[in-house]
Amino acid sequence: MDEGNANPIIIVLMFLARCLVPLVIMLGVSYLLRRLGLIKEPPPPPPNNLANNGNNLAVQKET
């Protein structure tokens, strides 16, 4: 292929297509899976009870 005649605009468009097409495909599949109900929102994290973190071991050893 003759590199000297390559149009820079075409090169940029091909680069963007190479990066954006897989991204659009992945986002589309993710959207369809969520829409069909195969993927659900993650549950909320459990509450972080700072008063009980690590203190239970010390209390158990004392008694």
Q: Which amino acid is at 36?
A: L
- The arithmetic mean of pLDDT across residues 31-44, rounded, is 90
pLDDT value for 47: 84
What's the CA gap between 38 and 60, in Å, rounded?
44
Rg (alpha carbons) of the chain, rounded to whole number: 27
- Residue 20, pLDDT > 60, answer yes
- Residue 1, pLDDT > 60, answer no
For 38, the token pair is 């195969």
Is residue 59 one of the residues assigned to a domain?
A: no
Q: Does residue 3 sit in helix, strand or coil? A: helix
Higher pLDDT, 13 or 48: 13
Is residue 45 one of the residues assigned to a domain?
A: no
What's the CA gap between 41 and 51, in Å, rounded?
29
pLDDT value for 41: 82
Domain count, the chain: 1
Is residue 63 one of the residues assigned to a domain?
A: no
Is residue 16 one of the residues assigned to a domain?
A: yes
